[in-house]
């Protein structure tokens, strides 16, 4: 499974990419929301790690979509519990 990273901060993107590759993961790193949005349209299975504000901004700029938040607290708790198992 590919892991898609979208992060504009070079240090964060480099660190996360290196850590995942060290674990044997196939990583595709994107620098901006437009690149990430295009990559997310592909049908292949993957895990997405996003600087969501970039994607949110791109979608907002190019559609009439409105966002109220990135990750709600209950979603964050659910995902964190899944990662612990």
Question: Where do the domains of the chain lie?
Answer: 2-84
Tens digit of pLDDT for each residue in 12-54? 888 888 988 888 889 989 888 788 888 888 888 677 777 767 7
Residues 54, 5: Cα–Cα separation, whole Å: 12
Distance (Å) of CA 26 to CA 15, 19, 22, 31, 82: 15, 11, 10, 17, 21
Q: pTM for this structure?
A: 0.58
Q: What tokens appear for 25 in the block?
A: 């993961």
CATH 3.40.50.2300 describes domain 2-84: yes
Nearest residue to 4 via CA among 21, 29, 23: 29
């Amino acid at each position: 499974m590919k892991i898609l990273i979208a992060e504009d901060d070079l240090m964060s993107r480099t660190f996360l990419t290196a850590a995942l590759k060290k674990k044997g993961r196939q990583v595709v790193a994107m620098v901006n929301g437009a690149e990430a949005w295009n990559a997310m349209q592909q049908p292949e299975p993957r895990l997405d790690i996003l600087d969501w504000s970039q994607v949110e901004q791109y979608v907002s700029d190019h559609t009439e979509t409105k966002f109220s938040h990135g990750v709600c607290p209950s979603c964050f708790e659910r995902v964190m519990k899944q990662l612990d198992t």
